[in-house]
Amino acid sequence: MSENIYLSPEHETLREQVARFLAREVEPFAEQWERDGCVPREVLRKMGEAGFLGLMYSARHGGAEADALTNLVFAEALSQSTYGGFIITVLVHTDMASPHLHHAGNAAQQARYMPGVTAGRTITAVAITEPGAGSDVAGLKTTARRDGDELVLNGSKLFITNGVHADLYFVAARTGTARHAISMFIVEKGTPGFTVGRSLEKTGWLSSDTAELVFEDCRIPAANLLGEQDKGFYSVMKNFQTERIALAAMAVGHCARALELTLDYVRDRRAFGATLFDKQVVRQRLAMLDAKTRAARQYLYHCAWRVTQGHDVVQDVSMLKSLTGELVNEVVQACQQFHGGMGYMRGTPIERLWRDARILAIGGGATEVMLDEAAKRY
C-alpha cells in the first residue's frame, strides 16, 4: 500500500521502473556527461522505448494517456538522481517543450511530430526567453511576419535548454502590436536562417546543453503556426503550470536525496569522540529540514491532484514553485555544511546537488515573480 493518499500501486511501479533505469543507464555514466556538457541522444531513445517520454500523451502517438499525478511521480522519481543536468534535459522534453505540441498542435502537426517525440527520436526545446525577456514573457522582441505562404522570424533567444541538440523547437514570437500579441511556431533544426549562436557554460546542470538561438530572416511554412495567432502568450501561461510542477518535483526530489545522503554521512562521520548524528544540533536541524520537505511534498501532490480535477491552479502552483525553489536551496546548503570539506569537493553528490539547486529558485519563474503572481490572486 502506498504511503501517499494520492498514489496507486501503478504509480509505485512506475517509481520502481524509473529507479532501475537510473541505476542501469544513468548513474554509471553521468559523470562523463557532466564533462561532455550533454546527455547522449541514445539515452533519450532508451527512455522512449521504456515508455517514459509520453506519459500524458495520446496512445495513437505512443503515449500512455496518464494524468498529472502520474507525470509528477515520474518527475519526482527521476529527481532521485543527483545529476540535475540529466534530469532537466528530460523534463524540458517531456514537461516544458513537447506539451506545446500536445495542447496546441493540430492533427497534422501531432501526427507528423509526436511519434518521434514520445519515442525519443526527436528531441524538443522551447524558445521563449530572450536577452531582455525572461519571466516577463510579454516583453519578448522576436518577431514573425507573414509573407505569402511563409512566416519570417527575426530575433534571438537565450538560455535555451536542449538548445544545441534539439531537433524541434517551439518558438514564441511577436505577431502584433498589442502587448500580449504573441504566437507560437514550430521550427525544425536546419531551417535556413536559424542557427545555434553559441553553447553557454553554466554554474550547474553541467550535462544539460544550453544555447543562444538566432533567427535571421528564418522562413518557415505558415502551417507551422502552433495554435491560434496572437494567442501564444496564453498558451505559454497554461504550459507554465506543468513546467512549474515538474520543477517543484525536481526540487522536492533533490531535498529528499540530499537528506538521505546526509543522514548516512553524519551517522558515520566521527568528530570530538562521537558521530555527528550524536550532536543534538545536527539531529534537530535535519529533522526540521525533513519536516519542511515532507510538507512541501504533500503540497506538491495536492497541486497535481487539483490539476486532475480541472481546478484553476495558478495561485497554488506559483506558491509551490516559490516554496520549493527556496526550500531546496536551504536543504542542500545545510546538508553540504554537515558534509564539511568533503561537501565542497567537485564530483561528490552533495556538491553537485548544491550547485544544481541554485537555478531552481530562478528558472521557470523566479521566486519573486511567483510570489507576486500568487499575491495578485488574493
CATH of the domain at 225: 2.40.110.10
Q: How confident is the model at residue 199 (pLDDT cuts 50, 70, 90)?
A: confident
Domains held by the chain: number: 3
Examine the domain organization and report whether 278 and 308 are in the same domain. Answer: yes
Q: What is d(CA 305, CA 296) in angstroms, rounded to the nearest whole number? A: 14
Is residue 313 predicted with pLDDT exceeding 70? yes
Chosen domain end from 123, 155, 183: 123
Examine the domain organization and report whether 100 and 206 are in the same domain. Answer: no
- Look up the domain containing 68 and give its range: 9-123
Examine the domain organization and report whether 189 and 248 are in the same domain. Answer: no
Q: Quick one: average pLDDT of 136-144? A: 91
Does 178 map to a domain?
yes
Active site residue 330: no
Does 354 map to a domain?
yes
pLDDT on residue 132? 83
Examine the domain organization and report whether 325 and 243 are in the same domain. Answer: yes
Is residue 177 predicted with pLDDT exceeding 70? yes
Examine the domain organization and report whether 290 and 369 are in the same domain. Answer: yes
**Residues 332-341: pLDDT tens digits?**
999 999 999 9
Does 219 map to a domain?
yes
Does 3 map to a domain?
no
Q: How confident is the model at residue 155 (pLDDT cuts 50, 70, 90)?
A: very high
pLDDT on residue 353? 97
Catalytic residue from among 243, 260, 330, 368: 243
The closest alpha carbon to 157, from 184, 122, 180, belongs to 184
Examine the domain organization and report whether 316 and 182 are in the same domain. Answer: no
Chosen domain end from 72, 92, 123: 123
Examine the domain organization and report whether 249 and 363 are in the same domain. Answer: yes
Chosen domain end from 78, 104, 123: 123
Does 1 map to a domain?
no
Does 203 map to a domain?
yes
**Residues 77-112: pLDDT tens digits?**
999 999 999 999 999 999 999 999 999 999 999 999
Q: Three cell numbers at 77?
A: 522519481
